[in-house]
Each structure stands twice: as C-alpha cells, then as structure tokens.
Amino acid sequence: MLSYDRLSASLSGEPKQAFVLTRHFFNRLFQNDVFPFQEQMKEKLAVILAMVASLGWLIANSLMMRYIFVADRGESWLEKCHFLSFFMVLLAFATLLEWDVIFLDKRDQSNLMVLPVRTRTLFCAKSAAMAVFIVFYTAAVCSLSFMVIAFVLPGWISNDLGTLGLYFAAHLLSSLAAFTFVFLLFVAIQAVLLLVLSPKLFKTLSLVIRFGLAVVCIFLLMTLLVNRETTNRFFSSLAGLKDRGDASVLLFPPMWFAGIYESILGRRDPLYSASVSIGLSAILVLGLAYFLALALSYRRHVRKSLEVQAKPALFKSIRDRLSSAFDAVVLKDPTERAVFHFFGRTLRNSALHKVRLAGYLAFALGLLLVLFGSQINALRNLGMDNLNLLAMPLILAFFLLLGLRSIVNVPLAAESNWIFRLTERNSRTPYFVGLKKAILFYAILPLFGGLYVFFLLTWGAWAALLHGLYGLAFALLLLQILFWNFRKIPFSCVTVPGRARLQYLWLIYGLSFIFALSAFSSLERTLFRNPGNFIIYYGAAFGLVIALDVYQRAFVYEKLRLLYEDKPDPVMITLVES
C-alpha cells in the first residue's frame, strides 16, 4: 500500500486519475450485492486466494501424478483440458458474484460523474481493475499447480531451466487466456441483457439468468470434483474425438486453451493450430465487445437513470382487500403485522437479500442435479423408493431456511433499526412469532406448494400429500431449531462482519446435514412401504413442533432482549493482576 501511494504521488494529470480509479474499481469488486462489506472481503482475500492455490495443487496432483511413472508423449493435453475446465467454471461462478459491479452503475454515476474525469479514463480504469482481478486469479491457480507440472512433466524431455521456463510460460499463458475468455464471455452475456432489455426488465430478468447460470456452475463444479465416473466418461469421449481428428472436439472451449498450451510447448497438430486461432479470435472479439458494451451501457444505463418510476400495480384494490383479510385472520397483533410485512417487502424489493438467498437455492439445485446426474439409471424409477426424489424437499427446505437464517442478519437500512427501537413494546413474543409466520407464509408454504404440484404429476394426489406433509414437518422442525433464541428483528440489526464463523463450523454443519438427510430420507422410504405409519410420524413431528413453539412462547421469548446492534469481538484482552 505504501508503494502504491508513492507511485500515485509521483504521477499527475490523467495517468494519476486512472491509477487512483483503478484501485477504486478493484476495491468495488469486494463491495457488491453478495459481499456488502468491503473490509470483510478484503481481509479474507488472501485466504480465498490461498484456497484457490491449494485447490489448484490438489487437482493438478490428482490429474498429473500418473506421469511420474509414464512418459508424457503428448497425452497430457487431456489432463490439462480437465484442469482448465474446472478453473474456468470456478471463475465463471466468481464472475457471477461480481455481476453487479462489472459495468459502471448508479453509484459510479453519483460519485464520479460530478468530478473532472474523462469518460475514457473511467473506461480504462474499469478495464484495468478487471484485468487485475483476472491476473490475481490466474496467479493463485498457477502458483502451486505449476509445482506439480514442473515435478512430473518436463523431466521426460529435459531437466534444464529452459525447458522448465517453457512449461511455466505455457501453463501461465494458457491459463490466463482461458480465464480472460471466461470473464469476457460472461461480461458479454450481461452486456447483451443490458442492451436488449429495458432497465426495469433487466433488473428482473438479470437475477433469474444469474441464478440459472449459478446453478449450472455449481453443478459442473461438483460434478468435476466428486462424480469421477461421469467426468472420466466425458473426457474419454473427448480423447476419442481428438484421436480421430474430429473437429467437433473444438466445440469444447477448454480444448482451445489446452491447444494453446500444447502449441507453446512446440507440439504440432492441426487441431492445436485451429485451437490457437479460435481461442485468440474469441478473446479478441469478446474484448472489443466488452469496450463497446461498456460505452453503450454507459450511455443507456448510467447517463440515463437506473431509477424507474413505479407503475400502479394491477388489481391493487383486490390485493389490498385480500391483504387486509389475511391480517385480520393471521396477524391480529400489530407488532406481528409490522414484522411480517417488513420481512416480505424487504425480500421483494432488496436486490442484496434476493441475490444472497438465490445463492443458497442455487447451491441446493446444483446439489440435486449432481445427485440425479450421478445416478442416471435411477431416473428410470421415479417411484417412492427413490431416495433422491425423497431427499429433494429436504434439501431445498434446508438450504432455503439456512439462507433465510443468514440474510435476516444483514440490515436493510439504519432507519428500520431506529423505527423498531423507538417503537419497541414490552412484550417480545409478537416480534418472534411475526418472524416465524413470515418465513412460513413467504418461504415454506410456497416451496411445498410448488413441490406438491410436481409430485402430484409424478405420484398422484395421495402419495404427493403424504410426501408433502412429511417434508413440511421436517421444515417446521428445522425452523424451530435454526431460529431458537433468535433475538433480532429481521433485516434491522446492525451486524458485525464475520460473526458466522463458517470457516470453523462448516464441517460440523455439513456432517449434520448429511446425517439428517440420510436419516429422514430412509425413514420416509420405510414409511411408504406401510403408509399407515405416516400418522405416527405426523403426530410425533407436528407434536414436537407445537411443543417447542409453546415452550418458547411461555418460557423463552419474554426473557429475550431484542438485539439491535451486534457486539464486536474484542481485539485485545488485557489481564490485570490484582
């Protein structure tokens, strides 16, 4: 940082502006809808890069270690293609996390347009920040993985430093080209949406498309990591196409950059030459498209306001009457009503919270795709003994509630904190009851309503009802566990970043989830063999949910104090000897 400040002080005029803005835009990468706390993300950046580097070493080690005993006679292109495929998908997922700060946005307009800065300086600085992001990622991926490459591959050719340097250049440059392509491709997707859609429609469809792409990325990452049978089958077919000289192998983009890798090493093949041409041309075209999209998005979405005037909702009067009737029946207490509607409107209007919740659901859907993809033959049997189908509601409910448990800690605005604080009542029970009712009606019931329709078409009405009630009982029990002694009004507590301690507890959470999923799925399959026993499960499960709720209302809620601000962890503890 001191070197950066000295270099910045030595510059003047437009170069200094570009230099300062590059750092600004790079920092903005860690202050977006997914990571709203810049300092929280910056302090974890080194840890994330170290994890990426370690993952690069593990994957390269698992792919390349066979070449310790077998000479590489040009066959290693397949392992290199596999390696690049994984980290290209990982970067695609990272780019989706940075989706909302790729182009100049409303905040940039408010902060920078009033300054004496040229538009070209903004564009150059924004592009430079993106380039630094890609370089950091490439450096992390290549740092330890090249140690594996250097240990197993060059020795079959030569042990001199020139050969080692050639392998290093090939590994670094092919990776950099591959990652640049992926980043520019996803930028192009967003650019097309920006140019084709109106600002209001873009806000709606962008989240849906971003969610779908995240599901695909998670599915591919988990498949490449854990589903070795499917992965090996795919890359074996890719090798067969390459051996036959079939040009259709070039339809797989990682092949382009594996071809660049082999071409730098001096291996000659018509498919490698075609890969180099296609890969470099794709980067060039997407790079030009990026600058064009940056300029057009600036003209359309920055110079014009991203704010869109709200239009009157259709059937507003009918909706208001239904809402009033619902409040009269379900939310008789005014405090419950306030918490309930504050929860619902925040989820409906806050992009930050919707993106975070979508991330949890994307992970759940990606996991389901991996489960079904790993057992293709099991899809022929969609009966009630298919554990994957039985686990579907449990997985979706788990990640939905886990996501809600996470995002309710993220405050919407300081004003909501003070409104609830100034109007706090002596009775705390309505605050907690209102939150759980909101989760029930806004999340759990819509989820199981949609699942009931799916299983209605698959199994019929009666089996779908039994299955839906089984999952609903699981979700309600999980709701009581996750929100036990929860003392915050949703989206209003000023929180301290990093309090979740997921880096320490993820293994416990993961093992607990696997155990619960296996136990509940197996139990339901047993119950379906004798459906009359479902009534015993319903009595026990719903009875336990009601008992926990009654216990909390009678002995827990009134003893809790509402928490409006998280206490920061002490940075220093001093022991004073008396």
Residue 55 half-sphere exposure, CB side, CA atoms within 13 Å? 19
pLDDT at 534 over 80: yes
pLDDT at 74: 82
Residue type (1 letter), 405: R
Three-state DSSP at 32 gives coil
5-19, 46-60, 72-86: range with highest mean pLDDT: 72-86
The pLDDT score that the predictor gives to residue 520 is 92
Q: Which residue has the higher pLDDT, 300 or 415?
A: 415
**Is the pLDDT reported for residue 528 higher than 70?**
yes
Q: Who has greater pLDDT, 36 or 440?
A: 440
pLDDT at 301 over 60: no
Residue 574: band (very low, low, confident or very high) from pLDDT cuts 50, 70, 90? very low
Cβ pair 399, 361 in contact under 8 A: yes
Tell me the percentage of the chain whose pLDDT exceeds 70: 83
Q: For 420-477, what is each residue's pLDDT tens digit?
A: 888 899 899 999 999 999 999 999 999 999 999 999 998 999 999 999 999 999 999 9
Say if residues 169 and 177 touch (Cβ distance below 8 Å).
no
Three-state SS for 278-335 is HHHHHHHHHHHHHHHHHHHHHHHHHCCCCCCCCCCCCCHHHHHHHHHHHHHHHCCCHH
pLDDT 10s digits, 58-91: 999 999 888 888 888 888 999 999 999 999 999 9
Higher pLDDT among residues 20 and 165, named by residue = 165
517-531 average pLDDT score: 92
Task: Work out the pLDDT band at 221, boundaries 50, 70, 90.
Answer: very high
* DSSP labels, 458-512: HH-HHHHHHHHHHHHHHHHHHHHHHTTT--S-TTTSB--TT-S-HHHHHHHHHHH
One-letter identity of residue 371: L
Calpha distance 139→182 (Å, rounded) = 16
pLDDT attached to residue 227: 82
| pLDDT value at residue 571 | 46
Highest-confidence segment of 317-331, 333-347, 381-395: 333-347
| Average pLDDT in the chain | 84
| Per-residue CA distances from 279 to 167, 176, 240 (Å) | 19, 12, 21
Given a cut of 90, whether residue 283 has pLDDT beyond it is yes
For 382, the 3-state DSSP assignment is: coil
Strand partners, 494: 565
Whether 232 and 62 have beta carbons less than 8 Å apart is answered as: no
305 pLDDT band, cuts 50/70/90, is very low
267 or 197: which carries more pLDDT confidence? Answer: 267
Q: Which two tokens stand for residue 413?
A: 């605005």
Question: How would residue 48 be classed by pLDDT, with cut points 50, 70 and 90?
Answer: confident
Q: How does pLDDT run across 239-263, given as a tens digit for each residue? A: 999 988 888 999 999 999 999 999 9
Contact between residue 406 and residue 356 where contact means Cβ atoms under 8 Å apart: yes
| DSSP secondary structure code for residue 555 in this structure | I
DSSP label at residue 250: G
When pLDDT is averaged across residues 550-564 and rounded to a whole number, the result is 90
Residue type, 424: E
Q: From CA 486, how far away is CA 494, in angstroms rounded? A: 15
Residue 413: left if φ>0, alpha if ψ -120 to 50, beta else—which one? Answer: beta
Residue 8 scores a pLDDT above 70: no
Name the pLDDT band for 229 (thresholds 50, 70, 90).
confident
